[in-house]
Structure 1
Amino acid sequence: MTDQAVDAGGANPSGDDRSPAAPERHFLGRARELKELRADIARAGLDTISGRKAPRARVLLVAGRPGSGRTALAEELVRQVADRYPDGVLRARLTEPDGTPVPVGRTAGELLTALGLPAAPGAAEDDLTDALRTALAERRVLLLLDDAAGAEQVDALLPDNADCLLVAVAQGPLTGIADVRPCTLGGLDTKSALDLLTQHIDPVRVTVDPRAAENLVEVCQGQPAALTLAGGLLAAHPEETVSDLAKRLHADTAESAPLARVLHLVHADLPKSAARMLRLLALAPAGDVDPHTASALAGTSLDGARPLLDRFAALGLLRPVPSPLPRYEVPGCLHPLLLALAEREERPAELQLARARMLERTVRLLQSCRAVTETDSPQTREKLKNLPPALRFADPRAAGQWLRSRRAALLAAARLAVADGELDTLARRLMSQLVRAMVAHLGTQAAAGDLYGIHGLVLDVAERQRLPREQAAALLNLADLDARTGRTAKALARYRAALDAGRVANDPYATGRAMESVGAAHQELGDHDRAADWFGRALAQRLARGEHADAARLYGRIAAAHTYAGHYGEALRNWRAAVAAHRRTGDVAAHARALSELARVQEYAGRPEECLRTCQEAVEWARRAEDVRLQAALQLRLGDTLERLGDPAAAQLHRGAAERLLAGEIRPGQAPVTAGAEAPRVDTSQEQDGEACEIRSTSAED
């Protein structure tokens, strides 16, 4: 059967911390295969035989049909040899439950995260795989890649380190990877197959009719998945003999494959409501099922879904996932069979309605997950009170645990909703709430990789539905993440596209932010003249709309661009405009910082006397704003300026004042006083046109 995807534990919105009890299972059989695989680890490869050191990790392949126990064998091998790899075991599944190959870049990013290393959001696949190989070059790890769709996926993730081991699970050979050691699985031997049956039923039912039991094993072709379902079916019907079940399987000609034949009997044996829920579980994102997902898909109550899921687990139809919250996994070998049942038994409209109910429930859970972090808002508290108890979280910590445990399923739900193409409204709501919940609980930086993927999905929907406002927002968010990770040229192209979309939508916020961001990208690329031009365009829009605070900030950005370009005259003019604008808006701290930057440019322009007067004024405004660090920086600048003007004694006084400010000896808002002497005194009684009079330094003896 397929690999168990074990996520971090989560919290149950309803407060029920009951986790499904996983039945005790022991690995059975495959002794010969395990011995051969262990021997292959140490066996010399072709490179070693030819006298060269092996440049890459040893690759072991466990090949077999779904349901053959291929992942169980790989996991048992990993358990037996894991102690040889002190840097740990990394696991990844390379195929979605519906058979879609997982992009290599996504897998590489998740493996980097598992190693505790940053994965740049939106990075190219080659960059991520190179980063992974670099990280594994100095580590001794065991890498288990389950359900590989092809050799290309495995080869891209193969470590360039002979001290590592890669165990791949696939249906066929990995043609193209050198020196792969394959282990092809058939059915279990008869003894192991009978032992597997007795894990589910009373051994007496096997021993009283051993020939019938062997016949059942033969009908199931020794496949562990088929035998597990057969054992579950016998356990559910104590009155039925092993011989009876074997005869029923022989008589059933609707399916040819053993696993499909047993599943057909199990499905037919269930009540109609339970059978319907079972086949609809094939729609669960990432094959991850909890009571909320199951009840929403089937349109039943939450309390009614829980016992049914436990029943499915007892039958071997679901695999319990270790978690404080009841969670299960649809085995990968059963997923395509359940999906085929659903498509055969349900009308397309019913399947679409089931998906819509599931997405709607997910949206409401995400809303609750985010809202529980905003308890300081009376409106939010009222909304939480109106939610059904099953959708509430006990506290923000429980909501965060639920979000982390369901992360893979939530992201898969967003991808499936967008790929569906007919549920775009729900998809947009889902992605909006998912972004807000992730930012609230994880933070923008920690969730950047996931957010990049979500914004890309939002862009797909916006382009498909011709929604220019949402298209502009998605492009801006993607461009911001590109810019933050150093892909400035790509960010610039997206900012320009966002500007075009914002103009089509007649959205002044999007166009203003896009123009400013285009300017910032040009500045990052070193084109300061273009940066100033784009900042000027954004400024004109802000002034036309009466947005004075933003206009004041943009004056500063224009001035900074001119400063970098060496156009000090234009820079001074714009900094003075910024000072005046901040004064009009009453932003004392911004006023002080603008004066500080004006003084800096005056210093660059070779005007020390003007710099001195502006610094004096900036110090006073920084004191009023109680900005200690800015006060200290200005005191140091005053000291440097006085030093150049030939007054070292006054310069020393200002530097001493800066040191006391940073040491906390001077309280915020308090004028600095130098030890043993009167501090440099600011005389503002004769202030004219925004410029203060000279700075005088007097000793205590005067």
Structure 2
Amino acid sequence: MTDQAVDTDGVTLSGNASTESHFLGRTRELKELRADIERAGLDTLSGRKAPRARVLLIAGRPGSGRTALAEELVRQVADRYRDGVLRARLSEPDGSPVPIERTARELLTALELPAPPGARDDDLAEALRTALADRRVLLLLDDAATAEQVDALLPDTAECLVVAVSHGPLTGIADVRPCTLGGLDTKSAVELLSGHTGSVRVTVDPRAAEGLVEECQAQPAALMLAGGWLASRPKAAVADFAKQLHAEGDDGRPLSQVFRLAYASLPSTPARMLRLLSLAPAGLVDPHTASALAGCSVDGAHTTLDDFVALGLLRSTGSLLPQYEVPGCLHPLLKALAETQDRPAELQLARARMLERTVRLLQSCRAITETDSPAAREKLVGMPRSLRFPNPRAAADWLTVRRPALLASVRLAVADGELDTLARRLMSQLVKAMVAHFGTRAAAPDLYEVHRLVLDVAERRRLPREKAAALLNLGDLDAQTGRTAEALVRYRAALDAGRQANDLYATGRAMESVGGAHQELGDYDRAADWFGRALAERLARGEREDVARLYGRIAAAHTYAGGYGEAQRNWRAAVAGYRKNGDVAAQARALSELARVQEYAGRPEESLRTCQEAVEWARRAEDVRLQAALQLRLADTLEHLGDPTAARLHRGAAERMLGEELPESDPEPEQGANACEIRSTSAED
């Protein structure tokens, strides 16, 4: 590793095994930083136990090699921290702070710990601190924008070490140990330059090399760009570039001077692509992104991106798929060029092309999983070859690698405000692709963020139908993570939006979801009332399948409330509905629940007859597990009626059906296990 900024996006968790690296200079700084780790803190000197982790600060301007120094320090001391190294970047490419909630969530995910979707910043930060309290971890926080970001993530144990990288001081964090970077020493700077140009040109004119180092103020990023310029021109002398740089004038910012020379040497087409890369979400670029921005072929974009890496203008992220990162120190320079050399309409068009390409890739990513769908196969065949994935695994890998950029694309599209139609399509396809490849539960944290953004757009554009869908999806995610009261608020708001849009589906599902939330909160009378309202709408529209299911939900609410008479009446209505629909399995389950309620109501003879009928329907449905459960219920009922011999026969039959010995009593079904308790999902996704 050379002394250059190696910014990372997102969070990774690595073990203690160190890898060989080549690092130039910073010997004094490394020695001081390692000494600071051992030095006693203020709390120790005062006789108190250190309450929090030690914080080492590496401060310097972008391009000074601050991240590379932090990575080298981490490499040297990582073996002291048995639980590994955690990394997070705390600023976006444009310098805006990354929300604490997002960073804490990513760190918890790296630790393989739950991070409930929709949880508040404070809760996630507290969960992270709790998780780190009994660990010995080295935490690298790169590009910290504010002291508050670092403070919220500090482990409450002296066993951990935090290495923070920032532009300036982190005022407000106690006992922080700062290390402020300037330029490299001359010997290391010349060695860095010769690593790009080759040793011959430096050896034949060492004074020119030292002069170039002085012009660049020994800043690593500037030297790398200078080295890339010289490497692309084997016949140019070091003195030639030094003269051109000197002619640029001294504005006190060597990086911008060197960058202007490097940019001016590019042909017009690559130069345009380079400045448009400032639009890349999260600073992450792949050949498709560059192709869409510049309006060129994917292969041509790939070649140009590799050329930019050789020139020091981009970095390869080293991921499974071709992906590059715009260095944080160059992002503002590229952005300024784009704003001055391209018209706003051209930038907006480039951004729209990029989002449209992303939408089509997400469509392809999802369609490759629908192997049994003729429509999906036809859609794939109609797509250009460059947009198709060879198999579902390749699509899943792409989705995983591009996930940070895809989420950033959604945030930028929503923040733009002028591309709401594309933003809505992008969010819809991203949700579908994530669910198809990762599943709803695994993708829930990302889905929550996307649905919140959908809600933002819907409210801004006054789209009540989309607002209702977003609120329903957010409510479902809140309910799944135990925030039932918050879910109830979402569902009521979704009902209002659905009524405003005259969306019958949304209003019906919102009513049912309100009832489900009341049931979860233990307010069974209100739950039954809301299920009844939803039932009335389904009856009016003749939706027989939903009618039967809602009778079951009303019956379940009355059962929980102890209203066994109403429960029996509604279960019988559910049974009749399933019989009319020809749903044999659901009819058997509804009869099973009716038998349970009859038993609760003190009517064992009726329960026995109903259970025997349910067994027959379960046999017709070929539902072995339900048959076994019903046989166990029959056994319990027969024991209550004083017939232990028949009870043993039914229990033995259940054991033979499942091939293993079952408990002697039929346990209560888990919440949601009943077929009548399944919550429908929104078609708006």
* TM-score, scaled to structure 2: 0.93
Deviation at 1:224, TM superposition (A): 0.4
**1:566 maps to which residue?**
562
1:84, distance to aligned residue in structure 2 (A): 0.9
**Do the aligned partners of residues 97 and 122 (structure 1) sit closer, same or farther apart at CA in structure 2, a change above 3 Å counting?**
same
Task: Check if 1:127 corresponds to 2:123.
Answer: yes
- Of the three residues 309, 323, 329, the one matched with 1:327 is 323
Contact 1:8 1:405 in 2 (8 A): no
Q: In the alignment, residue 90 of structure 1 is paired with which amino acid?
A: L
| Superposed counterparts of 1:87-166, under 5 Å | 87-166=83-162
- Whether 2:272 is the aligned partner of 1:276: answer yes
**SS of residue paired to 2:86:** strand
> Does the Cα contact within 8 Å between 1:7 and 1:405 map onto a contact in 2?
no
Partner-residue secondary structure (3-state), 2:25? coil
Equivalent residues of 2:54, 2:158 under 8 A apart: yes
Residue number in structure 1 paired with 2:425:
429
What residue in structure 2 maps to residue 463 of structure 1? 459
Poorly superposed stretches of 4+, deviation over 4 Å: 6-9
Q: 1:5 aligns with which of 5, 8, 19?
A: 8
Q: How many angstroms does 1:25 deviate by?
A: 7.9
Aligned pairs for 1:632-671 (under 5 A) are: 632-663=628-659
> Residues of 1 paired with 2:268 and 2:52: CA distance?
53
Corresponding position: 1:31 with 2:27: yes
Give distance in 1, aligned partners of 2:649 and 2:659: 15
Amino acid at match of 1:593: R
- The answer on 1:369 being equivalent to 2:339 is no
- Contact kept, 8 Å, 1:6 with 1:322, in 2: the verdict is no
Distance in 2 (CA, whole Å) between partners of 1:664 and 1:622 is 20
* Deviation of 1:345 (Å): 0.8
Query: What is the deviation of 1:652?
Result: 2.3
Q: Distance in 1 between matches of 2:187 and 2:148?
A: 38
Distance (Å, rounded) in 2 between the aligned partners of 1:628 and 1:386: 44
Deviation at 1:239, TM superposition (A): 3.0
SS in 2 for 1:52: coil
Q: Which has the higher contact order (CA 8 A, sep 6+)?
A: 1
2:69 maps to a residue whose letter is: L
SS of the aligned residue for 1:144 comes to strand
Deviations 1:530-563 (A, max 9, x none): 0000000000011111111110010011011111
Given that 1:528 and 1:562 are in contact with CA atoms closer than 8 Å, whether structure 2 keeps it comes out as: yes
Change (3 A) 1:365 1:125: same
8 Å CA contact 1:462, 1:471 repeated in 2: yes
Say if 1:254 and 1:161 are closer, same or farther in 2 by CA, change over 3 A: same
Instruction: Work out whether residues 362 and 430 of structure 1, in 8 Å CA contact, stay in contact via their aligned partners in 2.
Output: yes
RMSD after superposition:
1.7
Secondary structure, counterpart of 1:446 in structure 2:
helix
Deviation, structure 1 residue 64: 0.4
- Give 1:7 shift: 8.0
Amino acid at match of 1:46: L
Mapping of residues 600-639 of structure 1, within 5 Å:
600-639=596-635
- Structure 2, unaligned runs of 5 or more: 13-19, 663-685
Which has the higher Rg, Structure 1 or Structure 2?
A: 1
Which of 576, 594, 598 aligns to 2:594? It is 598
Provide the rounded CA distance (Å) in 2 between the counterparts of 1:634 and 1:215.
Answer: 89
Number of matched pairs:
652
Indicate yes or no: 2:523 matched with 1:527: yes
State the distance in 2 between where 1:622 and 1:576 align. Answer: 17
1:241-274 per-residue CA deviation (whole Å, 9 max, x = no partner) reads 2222222222214954110111111111111111
Which position in structure 1 is the counterpart of 2:15? none
Distance in 1 separating the partners of 2:352 and 2:11:
27
Contact 1:93-1:145 within 8 A present in 2 as well:
yes
Q: CA offset at residue 3 of structure 1?
A: 3.4
The 3 A distance-change label for structure 1 pair 185 and 254 is closer
Using the TM superposition, give the Cα deviation of residue 292 of structure 1 relative to its aligned residue in structure 2, in angstroms: 1.0
Contact 1:552 1:581 survives alignment (8 Å): yes
Q: Which residue in the other structure is 2:665 paired with?
A: none
Unaligned residue ranges in structure 1 (runs of 5+): 10-23, 667-702
Partner SS state of residue 188, structure 1: coil
Provide the C-alpha distance between the structure 1 equivalents of 2:251 and 2:414, rounded to a whole number of angstroms: 33
SS in 2 for 1:445: helix
Q: Contact 2:11–2:110 (CA<8 Å) still a contact in 1?
A: no
1:220 corresponds to which of 210, 216, 219? 216
Distance 1:25 1:213, change over 3 A: farther
C-alpha distance in structure 2 between counterparts of 1:300 and 1:647, whole Å: 82
Q: 2:491 aligns with which of 489, 492, 495?
A: 495
Partner residue in 1 for 2:543: 547
Which residue identity is paired with 1:42?
E
Instruction: Give the whole-Å Cα distance in 2 for the aligned partners of 1:217 and 1:175.
Output: 33
Name the stretch that deviates more: 237-246 or 65-74.
237-246
Question: Aligned to 1:167, what secondary structure does the other structure show?
Answer: strand
CA contact (8 A) 2:89 2:143 kept: yes
Code of the aligned partner of 2:270: A
Give a deviation string over 1:473-527, Cα, whole Å, max 9, x none.
1111111000000000100000011111111111111111110000000000010
1:296 and 2:292 correspond: yes
SS of 1:26's partner is: coil
Q: Are the aligned partners of 2:11 and 2:89 in contact in 1 as well (CA < 8 Å)? A: no
Contact kept in structure 2, 1:57 and 1:159, CA below 8 Å:
yes
d(CA) in 2 for partners of 1:439 and 1:371?
12
TM-score by length of 1: 0.91
Measured at CA, do residues 378 and 8 of structure 1 come closer, stay the same or move farther in structure 2, by a change above 3 Å? Answer: farther
1:79 aligns with 2:75: yes
- One-letter amino acid of the counterpart of residue 413, structure 2: A
* 1:189 counterpart letter in structure 2: D
Shift of residue 656 of structure 1? 2.2
Asked whether 1:354 is paired with 2:350, we answer yes
Percent identity reads 78
Which residue matches 1:439? 435
Cα offset, 1:6, TM superposition: 6.7
Partner in structure 1 of residue 681 of structure 2 = none
- CA distance in 1: counterparts of 2:79 and 2:71, whole angstroms: 14
In structure 1, the partner of 2:167 is 171
Cα distance in structure 1, aligned partners of 2:10 and 2:117: 21
User: 1:250 pairs with 246, 249, 252, which one?
Assistant: 246
SS in 2 for 1:406: helix
User: Match for 1:43: what amino acid?
Assistant: R
1:294 and 1:658 map into 2 onto residues whose CA distance is 63
Q: Is the 8 A contact 1:151 1:174 kept in 2?
A: yes
> What's the CA shift string for 1:112-157, capped at 9, x where partnerless?
1111111101111111111111111111111000000011000100
The 1:413/1:357 distance shift into structure 2, 3 A limit, reads same
Q: Does 1:189 align with 2:185?
A: yes
Q: Partner amino acid for 2:34?
A: R
1:575 to 568, 571, 590: 571
**CA 1:25–1:160: 2 relative to 1, 3 Å:** closer
Question: Is the contact made by 2:11 and 2:88 (CA closer than 8 Å) also made in structure 1?
Answer: no
SS of the equivalent of 2:553 reads helix
Higher alpha-carbon deviation: 384-393 or 648-657 = 648-657
What SS does structure 2 have at the residue aligned with 1:99?
coil
Whether the aligned pair in 2 keeps the contact of 1:3 and 1:146 (CA below 8 Å) is: no
Match in the other structure for 2:228 = 232
* 2:666 corresponds to: none
Secondary structure of 1:155's aligned partner: helix
AA of the residue aligned to 2:26: R
Is the contact between residue 11 and residue 86 of structure 2 (CA under 8 Å) also seen in structure 1? Answer: no
SS at match of 2:441: coil
